[in-house]
Structure 1
Amino acid sequence: MLIQPEKIRPKDESILLSICIATLNRGDFIAETLNSIVSQLTVDTELLVVDGASKDSTPDVMAKYVQEYSQVRYIQEQENSGFDADFDKAVSYAKGTFCWLMTDDDILVPGAISRVREELVSNNLELLVVDAEVRDINLERILQLSRMFLEKDHYFEQSCDQFLEVAGDQLSFIASVIVRRDTWLKRERNRFYGSLFVHVGVLLQSPPLEGVKVLSEPLIQIRYGNASWTARAFEIWLFIWPNLIWSFEQFSERSKAKVCARYPWKNLMQLLKHRARGSYSTREFENFIENRASGIEKAQAFIVAKIPEPIANFAAVAYVVILSRQSRLGLGDLLDSEHASWASKLLARLLPLSKIGG
């Protein structure tokens, strides 16, 4: 099924919410995501999937849903434009007043759409941010009950420092975002293409958003460890993400530091963890650190890049189980690494973390 790209379309007043998915080669996962959504669709909601020229079974999977559900639209691009541009296209193609920027392998919990509709109808919002629980790659085991661990919902008149402190880290997960479509379209987007976080660029640029609510209830199940950009984890989390967050001058340094360190690559423990997972080596040192660091910082970063990965893995596991007891996700990453030795796994069994970490 090949559907030609659409032009930016006017808002359809009868559609309150467009659930927008940008996908690429996720035929093995997207059906489970779609199943969690289509059963919740109402007369004023639609599901829009923009396919960035998938070469796998995605078109065949989507054809079945388009045929069975009138509220499902599928647009197959002839060329891949990248993660950011495809989500931007999805918002442009959407019909709804609001757009939920949903991922292509995670799951909406039952009642999620109803909960979001309730907020959108009852409040004058530009942005709604929802929480999520984190599960393993098969969605069978809960790794983290919540990403934000809020005791109550939060409302902000503007996207201020307090908002960034509460929800800044959660914004790195695009499916947490439900944004007014008109707001998205009138703000700068092209500058953030290639960042992998175009939505953050749209939401945090000036002027501040008016009417922002953060829900404490997890409405999404994240399939952890399945991100398409895992191979670039070092570059993304130690450079791209902090550079983006710290580029927004209207937020205080204190608030931005609550989201992430300005230069996380200067932290030896961060380097050790990436080395332990296999995402940091002399290649990353040469590409990202060598020309930025000097003196002792450069020497330390080089030494970490040369530590044998199984030794780095054991050291990082020891740090988590002894000094960072709540880091269940971090421990899972380390033990799932190909560099996890029998010693690392034995240590984790001898000193197990709590069943569900924070």
Structure 2
Amino acid sequence: MIEEIQAKTDSRPVLTIAIPTYNRARYLRELLSVLFDQLVAEPRVELIISDNASPDETPQVIEEFVKRGLPLRNIRNKTNIGADANFMQCFEQAQGKYFWLFGDDDVIVPGGVARILALLDRQDYAIAYVSTYEFRNDYVTERTWDKFGRIAEPLTGGLELIRRIGAMVTFISAMIVNKDRYLNSVHPPMDRLIGTNLMQLGYLLPVVASSVSNLYIWERIVGARGGNCSGWGACQVFGINLKRVAEQYIGDRRDIVTALCNHTLQNWFPGTIMESREGTGSQLNSENMCELLEPIYKTNGRYWFYVYPLIKLPLAMARLWYSFVRVLNRVIRVIPMMLRYWFRNERIVQNQINTPSAPEMQKQVAP
């Protein structure tokens, strides 16, 4: 009996990568092409694809890679159950210790999975945040690198993590969670979040609230495809829903809720508002931004300083204000970062893990 339990434990995947997908066969093919060499002989990783009844060539793309020998578990829903329910299904089906919900239009660069596994092997983490870079056409030539050559940095507690990443906690391709920590935490049911566009916070926030040891991965291992979202309301999701979900799923950690909302107002909303006004970002639902945000944030100075002027000012003046805000935020961000780098450098993992380094991986994928 003991041997059976030990065998089951030993055979459990370290990491589950789950890809919820709908009607994006072209992007899915690119992602699986990049993952093929990384996972075809990697028993520590479980790959799940949850196809939400795609009407395009998605089933054929998946079958193509199965025939080539890519080990994966394919789940095809009979009907489209919606993105939130599909996310929840991925989480419930995952068997790995760590769970990584990954966007079907994003990319894990060659060698990236091995880097992640090597970092996760160093310690038992609650959350790992993976730095991303945006690309529009070619994830290889548009890739960027950490200017200080950092690989990763351990963070103490959920508050420090949220102060660093803010609204990026909602970006599925950047967040890896220890599923065991979630199962051992006190948490409301995830199905309450169906329809919020924030299902992922159902399993992330309870772990963030109780976390002690987290990991910030500076190396930009994930390429995030820019300008490829549509049909959702920025203020409804990141203004109303985000605050409400955080209050419900973070427990009694009001400090973390405040830090998340403040970071979102200061760092996420300005760029999103300007992209919407300029027509250069994702296609968003038409919203009355002030009408939605003011009842919630009217007592928060960050709303009036960072958000309100960009909504109300004429576009030319809004551009000037946005330029000022960007410079200010950069100063606010860079000074503490430099101090941490100089005085806490011993915490930062440099390029000392036994997998290809960032420049070496760049050579591997260079044309």
Task: Please indicate, yes or no, whether the TM-score normalized by the shorter chain is above 0.5.
Answer: yes
Q: Which residue of 2 aligns with 1:217?
A: 219
Larger RCO (CA within 8 A; separation ≥ 6): 2
Structure 2 vs 1, CA of residues 292 and 96 (structure 1 numbering), >3 Å: closer, same or farther? Answer: closer
Match of 1:256 among 254, 260, 281: 260
Offset at residue 321 of structure 1 (A): 5.5
Structure 2 vs 1, CA of residues 304 and 172 (structure 1 numbering), >3 Å: closer, same or farther? Answer: closer
Q: Distance in 2 between matches of 1:200 and 1:46?
A: 22
TM-score under structure 2 normalisation?
0.68
Q: Distance in 2 between matches of 1:302 and 1:97?
A: 43
SS in 2 for 1:103: coil
Q: Distance in 2 between matches of 1:61 and 1:213?
A: 34
Q: Distance in 2 between matches of 1:303 and 1:145?
A: 33
Q: Which residue of 1 aligns with 2:73?
A: 73
Q: Which residue of 2 aligns with 1:7?
A: none
Match of 1:34 among 15, 32, 48: 32
Equivalences for residues 116-155 of structure 1 within 5 A:
116-139=116-139, 142=142, 153-155=152-154
| Deviations 1:20-65 (CA, angstroms, capped at 9, x unpaired) | 1111111121110111112111122121100111111111111111
* 2:196 equivalent to 1:195: yes
Q: Which residue of 2 aligns with 1:86?
A: 86
Q: Determine if contact 2:167/2:263 at 8 Å carries over to the other structure.
A: yes
Q: Which residue of 2 aligns with 1:330?
A: none
One-letter amino acid of the structure 2 residue matched with residue 162 of structure 1? E
Q: Distance in 2 between matches of 1:233 and 1:91?
A: 25
Q: Determine if contact 2:52/2:82 at 8 Å carries over to the other structure.
A: yes
| Deviations 1:194-228 (CA, angstroms, capped at 9, x unpaired) | 2222222322237513432111111101111112x
Q: Determine if contact 2:143/2:223 at 8 Å carries over to the other structure.
A: no
| Deviations 1:143-175 (CA, angstroms, capped at 9, x unpaired) | 8757x9995633235x43112112333312111
Q: Percent same amino acid at aligned positions? A: 21
Q: Which residue of 1 aligns with 2:336?
A: none
One-letter amino acid of the structure 1 residue matched with residue 19 of structure 2? I
Q: Determine if contact 2:13/2:44 at 8 Å carries over to the other structure.
A: yes
Structure 2 vs 1, CA of residues 250 and 321 (structure 1 numbering), >3 Å: closer, same or farther? Answer: closer
TM-score under structure 1 normalisation?
0.69
Structure 2 vs 1, CA of residues 70 and 63 (structure 1 numbering), >3 Å: closer, same or farther? Answer: same
Q: Distance in 1 between matches of 2:242 and 2:144?
A: 22
Q: List alignment gaps of at least 5 residues for structure 2.
A: 1-7, 330-367
Structure 2 vs 1, CA of residues 117 and 285 (structure 1 numbering), >3 Å: closer, same or farther? Answer: closer
Q: Distance in 2 between matches of 1:16 and 1:246?
A: 31
Q: Determine if contact 2:235/2:293 at 8 Å carries over to the other structure.
A: no
Q: Which residue of 2 aligns with 1:19?
A: 17
One-letter amino acid of the structure 1 residue matched with residue 205 of structure 2? L
SS in 2 for 1:88: helix
Q: Distance in 2 between matches of 1:11 and 1:230?
A: 42
Q: Distance in 1 between matches of 2:89 and 2:103?
A: 15
Q: Determine if contact 1:135/1:144 at 8 Å carries over to the other structure.
A: no
Q: Distance in 2 between matches of 1:217 and 1:180?
A: 20
Offset at residue 78 of structure 1 (A): 0.9
Q: Determine if contact 1:107/1:220 at 8 Å carries over to the other structure.
A: yes
Q: Distance in 2 between matches of 1:304 and 1:34?
A: 40
* 2:48 equivalent to 1:44: no
Equivalences for residues 175-194 of structure 1 within 5 A:
175-185=173-183, 187=187, 188-194=189-195
SS in 2 for 1:81: coil
One-letter amino acid of the structure 2 residue matched with residue 132 of structure 1? T
* Bigger helix fraction: 2
